[in-house]
Amino acid sequence: MDSSSRSSVIVIGAGVSGISAAKVLAENGIEDLVILEASDRIGGRIRKENFGGVSVELGAGWIAGVGGKESNPVWELACKSGLRTFFSDYSNARYNIYDRSGKIFPSGVAADSYMKAVASAIEKLKSHVGEVIENTCIPKTPIELAIDFILHDFEMAEVEPISTYLDFGEREFLVADERGYDYLLYKMAEDFLLTSEGKILDSRLKLNKVVRELQHSRNGVTVKTEDGCVYEANYVILSVSIGVLRSDLIAFRPTLPRWKTEAIEKCDVMVYTKIFLKFPYKFWPGGPEKEFFIYAHERRGYYTFWQHMENAYPGSNILVVTLTNGESKRIEAQSDQETLQEAMGVLRDMFGPNIPDATDILVPRWWNNRFQCGSYSNYPIILDNELVHDIKAPVGRIFFTGEHTSERFNGYVHGAYLAGIETSKSICEEMRKEEGRKSESQSFLLEPLLALTGSLTMSQTEAVSNLHKCDIPTQLYLSGKLGIPEGIL
């Protein structure tokens, strides 16, 4: 049992939305807050790891939406913090497409396949609005399947980028900093938590606290963790992922209302896996517009999208291949050695049998991580405004935040950042309303009492005089009208 006193707010999750939410609370004078994080670090789905002598980003790795009329808040934080980034232009990847014999498809063929993939996307959208379509644009050949994968699963990442591009610009920057992308979270934390030499020392941040139960009522929320600790607060900000909300990790007492659970189930969970391979030397093409290349296979998404890390880390000899959804789940269920064999088979298809074996491999497992249960949220193609409202709407004193609650920027780091800010502003407003209701209630109860007290207010002389007037037995005795034995008085 944790002995900490009742807090105003408990923030569950120390990812981007959780930290930004806590920061706004502190800026509004709410300092009796607690942050409970299930893992041993902050960052959530931003996570760095040392691999092959450099720092690689296993989760979010880009700052998307730069160069527009409006400044992306995450880009502002990166610039202010001096985060090392590199411009990424993967649009040229469609002209670096290898078949299984190692030949590069002619640019004209690639362009035609790209246009077909765009047409397929349009027809897919039409099908969701009820229009009858023909299957003339469905991708069938390896190159068509590869470009369809790039267009939907990588460039779009199945998340709608239009709002990001319109608001913040179309440029994207790869984070390549030894301090890691999560350095931005530490810089945010410095503004309201006790830190020293890059470490958070504040006791209000509690790591390795796996929340398993939320008991909520009109009077507050009780939070129970896996290690037996109990925390109490007036409000809770729940910043766990949509995947965790769909899992059974956290029990709600009472259970969430049907409208909430239905909204959560309608929001898809995407899985995005970056596999890192270390080699003794570089054997892939270099130079301008060669950073990204594509493998065309009969199976859609089979080790399709590749990137070398030479631009970010010269001499690192590291390749990254991106898998999504079904392929991500498949490789998570097998050993790293099996994955390595498959990846090497693909590379030898493209670059020949004499390339060296990888000396190391790093395979993240976001889907099977019970604290994440996936990589990001994805709303249905035809977005229902009521769904978005229900996803982020509070249930009593539990407020929900995260990239999945961002109507315009779900799936992005800046979506999580802005969602945390918005949620904290909402909870601050609710707290002000609650204080107002308490004041009105107290006034309602006190006014009659004050009125009565005011009518009884009198001087000391008046009080003594009135007391004597009210002392009937004494008055009768003094007047001789009441005979009382002296021993009784």
Cβ neighbour number for residue 386 with a 10 Å cutoff: 11
Binding residues: 17, 37-38, 211
- The answer to whether the beta carbons of residues 122 and 128 sit under 8 Å apart is no
> What are the domain boundaries of the chain?
1-61+181-266+381-437, 84-173+268-378
3-state secondary structure 151-220: HHHHHCCCCCCHHHHHHHCCEEEEECCCCCCCHHHHHHHCCCCCEECCEECCCCEECCCCEEEEEEECCE
- Tokens coding 421: 């800010």
Contacts of 171 (CB under 8 A, 6+ apart): 65, 66, 67, 87
Q: What's the pLDDT score for residue 135?
A: 53
Strands (E), 317-421: 318-324, 360-362, 376-378, 398-400
Nearest to 174 by CA among 22, 20, 60: 60
For domain 1-61+181-266+381-437, give the CATH number.
3.50.50.60
Nearest to 40 by CA among 200, 180, 175: 200
Average model confidence (pLDDT) across the chain: 87
CATH topology of 1-61+181-266+381-437 equal to that of 84-173+268-378?
A: no
What mean pLDDT comes out for the span 361-379?
96
What mean pLDDT comes out for the span 237-244?
98
Q: Residue 199: is its pLDDT beyond 50?
A: yes
What mean pLDDT comes out for the span 7-21?
99
- Tokens coding 287: 């130079």
What mean pLDDT comes out for the span 279-292?
94
* Coil/strand/helix, residue 339: helix
Binding residues for FAD: 17, 37-38, 211
What mean pLDDT comes out for the span 323-342?
98
Output 260 or 167, whichever has higher pLDDT. 260
Output 268 or 454, whichever has higher pLDDT. 268
Output 62 or 154, whichever has higher pLDDT. 62
Confidence of residue 232 (pLDDT cuts 50, 70, 90): very high
Flag the least confident range among 101-115, 202-216, 229-243. Answer: 101-115
Confidence of residue 464 (pLDDT cuts 50, 70, 90): very low
From the centroid of its chain, how far is CA 311?
A: 29
Q: What's the pLDDT score for residue 362?
A: 99
- The answer to whether the beta carbons of residues 20 and 421 sit under 8 Å apart is yes
The CATH architecture to which 84-173+268-378 belongs is Alpha-Beta Complex (3.90)
Task: Dump pLDDT digits (tens) for 84-122.
Answer: 999 988 888 888 999 999 999 998 888 888 787 777 666
Residues 348 and 350: their CA atoms lie apart, in Å, by 5
Residue type, 448: P
Q: What's the pLDDT score for residue 110?
A: 81
Backbone φ, ψ for residue 127 (5° rounding): -65, -30
Task: Dump pLDDT digits (tens) for 371-395.
Answer: 999 999 988 766 678 998 999 999 9
Task: Dump pLDDT digits (tens) for 394-452.
Answer: 999 999 999 999 989 999 999 999 999 999 999 999 999 998 887 777 666 666 655 55
CA angle 155, 159, 160 (to 5 degrees): 90
Report, in this order, helix, strand and coil percent for the chain, each rounded to 5.
40, 20, 40
Residues 48 and 60: their CA atoms lie apart, in Å, by 9
What mean pLDDT comes out for the span 116-133?
61
